[in-house]
Structure 1
Amino acid sequence: MPAITSGTVLVTGANGFIGVWTVKAFLDAGFTVRAQLRSESKTAYLKKLFSSFGDKLEFAIVSDLTKDGSLDEAVTGVDAVAHTASPTNLTADDPDEQIKPAVEGTLNCLRAAAKTPSVKRFLYLSSCATVIDPSAKGPRVYDESCWNEGDVVEVETKGRGASQLSKYRASKILAERSAWKFYEEAKTKGSISWDLTVVNPPWVFGPSIQELGETYESMNASNQYFYNAIVKSKYYAALDHAWIDVRDLAHALVLAIKTPTAGGERLIVAAGAFRWQDFILTASRLSDKTHPLEGPYDPDAEHTARQNVTKAKNILGITYRSMEETTRDTLKDWEVHGWL
């Protein structure tokens, strides 16, 4: 497909942590954004936040993304779709409470795009939860060919007894697989006019610009974990994963739509590997209001789960903020809210 450097982009889940930054990134890049929200009441905050962009910001009110045909009008006339909306339910009893909304919401958005000849690129925001195998032993480097099979197996075998994280990760895996299946079948039939690009980020941290409440618990889940580790020293010490700044992720999503060679690709984007202790040490150097690191820690210990981001670098040309910059800007954000 040719480069998509202007026009209108539909952003689903536009009022979430990642969604609002994605809206901003597309507006900054000169696009018109049609922001999908679940209710009219959600528009006021975004109208005020992005008032300087005038009529470059539009809204599509769709209360149920899983309802067949609910996105047809929202997609009409757009040049690209950035599907960032995804349910996060860590209290599900039946796995289908988590899996069905993720899969059906994705497929419904794809079906709407398939009916719309103006669409040239469909961007699906997935996760490294679909890539990293949490049951793997020993150090591993993951790339775009890797799939997390373990959590789907756990959910299939244990059902309601599967862990909440397994239910969540299975929903991400099955939703992404459904997107690829839909795309490959539609492409074979010649029934779509667009390319699919999937972006897989790891843990996403950084300052918030979405509407928040009075307490830090109103933040998205990943930033709440970030806050608990840095400010309250409550964290899982053995966690070994990767991270990305939300602003870099939003920029990556813009690049994934603008870059012709990103079509048909699965792309891992990550700034680097981390343990919570790395961020705690970084924060303690920047502020005396955070909790200092306690206990032994070897900063040179080998990370067991690392991501190979060469493909995204070669295709998108993306660079990443440092851990210090992300931590500093997040601490400033918490100070503004009175949480530090």
Structure 2
Amino acid sequence: MTIIPPPAIVLLTGANGYIGSWVTKVLLEAGYSVTGTVRSAEKGEAWVKLYAKDEATKSKEVKFVVVEDITLDGAFDEAVKGVHAIVHTASPVVLNHTDDPSVIIDPAIKGTVGILESALKFGFNVKRIISLSSAAAVLSLQPTPRTFSELDWNDQSVEQVKKEGKDAPGIAKYRASKTLAEKASWKFMEKHKKELEGRFDLVAFAPPFVFGPQLPTLHLSKPEEMTFSSYLLYKALVLGDFHVGSPITPAGLWVDVRDLADATLLAIGGRDGAGGERIIVSAGEFIWQDFLDALHSTSPSPFPPSRMAELPKGEPGTTGKDVVHPILYDTSKLEKVLGVKVRGIEESVRDTVRDYEGRGW
């Protein structure tokens, strides 16, 4: 039985990122202490200040440790000492990669396995490690629509990258990196099974596109500084730029960043049974029209009437339920194991566009 109650110490890699910042917030609000890894002291100090400004977290214990390069041997050796749980979100996200695949694949594997190695050697208080994988490690392109589950692996992209090497599409290299990194983590756990008895277990989360508001205190000077997924949403809602060409074309699957953060909290101290599991964390499939309709039905309106009139409306009358989606996910484990009830598009869009308005975007 692995339930780690507060005020346990949680080590969070990639703590100052979009997902990491929300995970920090929910952990602190639940009473946990958080130690975040960042690449520089400057970034660490700025990250700590985010929570000093928040009434709900300003009295909580939050500190940082500098890990300049997560791919180095022993990069996390000091960071894991004394912590009770680890959440690993730090991993390169490069979708337009034109170099040799190893440039993106090797760091993904080394970072993911490296923190497991450090925990095995020096993390004597660690009981659970949650590793942020991706739905990219689950899906594969099929000739007909298909529902994927945690039993599926994206060996398709791995084989494509092996065959095409440097010439493989950037998205294939990214998907291969996530697949190989997660597989390496499970291989590590199996290899050290006897040593890990009574020590720690592993949980892997596989989210698709992650949307939702930025942490209010997170400083961003322009939309282009957001993550790839967040900027995709901004371009669709504000610029009318749809990465699939049309607002009524199947655009993928999504989850609100706050639901991903809540799932992390529940996997640490809320529900037993997550250990050793892959869990797809998704709210479902969508077309961009679903988000545009939610934008224009938000009440009260997040923008002045003149601004709302300028925003794209798409092609009203078609919803995601009206089209055939090539990829679906079975998310029954998310609710069964963790009890997560995901937010809908309306709530996510409402809070996201209000964040845009607050930032003057």
| TM-score, normalization by structure 1 | 0.95
For 1:287-298, list aligned pairs within 5 A: 287=301, 288=308, 289-294=310-315, 297=318
Measured after TM superposition, the shift of residue 85 of structure 1 is 0.7
Measured after TM superposition, the shift of residue 260 of structure 1 is 2.5
Q: Deviations along 1:112-139, whole A, 9 cap, x unmatched?
A: 1111211000110111111111x21222
State the alpha-carbon separation in 1 of the partners of residues 312 and 82 from structure 2: 50
Amino acid at match of 2:149: D
Measured after TM superposition, the shift of residue 298 of structure 1 is 5.4
Q: Deviations along 1:147-167, whole A, 9 cap, x unmatched?
A: 111111111000010001111
User: Which deviates further from its counterpart, 170-179 or 250-259?
Assistant: 250-259
Contact 1:120 1:193 in 2 (8 A): yes
SS at match of 1:113: helix
Measured after TM superposition, the shift of residue 45 of structure 1 is 2.3
Structure 2 spans left out of the alignment, 5+ residues: 302-307
Residue aligning to 1:333: 355
2:101 is aligned, of 95, 113, 134, to: 95
Q: Deviations along 1:248-303, whole A, 9 cap, x unmatched?
A: 10010111122321011111111121112211222132352521114884542232
Q: Deviations along 1:164-207, whole A, 9 cap, x unmatched?
A: 11111111111100011001111144477101111111110011
Identity, % of aligned pairs? 41
State the alpha-carbon separation in 1 of the partners of residues 31 and 148 from structure 2: 34
Residue aligning to 2:304: none
State the alpha-carbon separation in 2 of the partners of residues 315 and 296 from structure 1: 36
2:331 is aligned, of 309, 314, 318, to: 309
User: Which deviates further from its counterpart, 177-186 or 252-261?
Assistant: 252-261
2:200 corresponds to 1:201: no
Measured after TM superposition, the shift of residue 47 of structure 1 is 2.2
Amino acid at match of 2:128: R
Amino acid at match of 2:142: A
2:83 corresponds to 1:62: no
2:242 corresponds to 1:220: no
Residue aligning to 2:267: 256
SS at match of 2:273: helix
Amino acid at match of 2:44: T
Measured after TM superposition, the shift of residue 18 of structure 1 is 0.3
Aligned residue pairs total 338
Residue aligning to 1:273: 285
State the alpha-carbon separation in 2 of the partners of residues 322 and 295 from structure 1: 19
SS at match of 1:260: coil
Contact 2:35 2:65 in 1 (8 A): yes
Contact 1:27 1:53 in 2 (8 A): no
Runs of 4+ with >6 A deviation? none
User: Which deviates further from its counterpart, 298-307 or 201-210?
Assistant: 298-307
User: Which deviates further from its counterpart, 296-305 or 76-85?
Assistant: 296-305
Amino acid at match of 2:144: G
Q: Deviations along 1:69-91, whole A, 9 cap, x unmatched?
A: 12111110000100011101234
Residue aligning to 1:15: 16
State the alpha-carbon separation in 1 of the partners of residues 226 and 251 from structure 2: 22
SS at match of 1:69: coil
SS at match of 1:197: strand
State the alpha-carbon separation in 1 of the partners of residues 74 and 347 from structure 2: 43
SS at match of 2:144: coil
State the alpha-carbon separation in 2 of the partners of residues 298 and 35 from structure 1: 40
Residue aligning to 2:305: none
Amino acid at match of 1:81: I
Residue aligning to 2:344: 322
State the alpha-carbon separation in 2 of the partners of residues 307 and 214 from structure 1: 35
Residue aligning to 2:35: 34
Closer, same or farther in 2 for the Cα pair 1:159/1:247, shift >3 Å?
same
Q: Alignment RMSD, CA only?
A: 1.7
Contact 2:2 2:128 in 1 (8 A): no
SS at match of 1:50: helix
Amino acid at match of 1:225: L
Closer, same or farther in 2 for the Cα pair 1:298/1:3, shift >3 Å?
closer
Amino acid at match of 2:233: F
Closer, same or farther in 2 for the Cα pair 1:153/1:239, shift >3 Å?
farther
User: Which deviates further from its counterpart, 258-267 or 76-85?
Assistant: 258-267
SS at match of 1:15: coil
For 1:174-189, list aligned pairs within 5 A: 174-189=180-195
Amino acid at match of 2:201: D
SS at match of 2:34: strand
SS at match of 2:90: coil
2:158 corresponds to 1:132: no
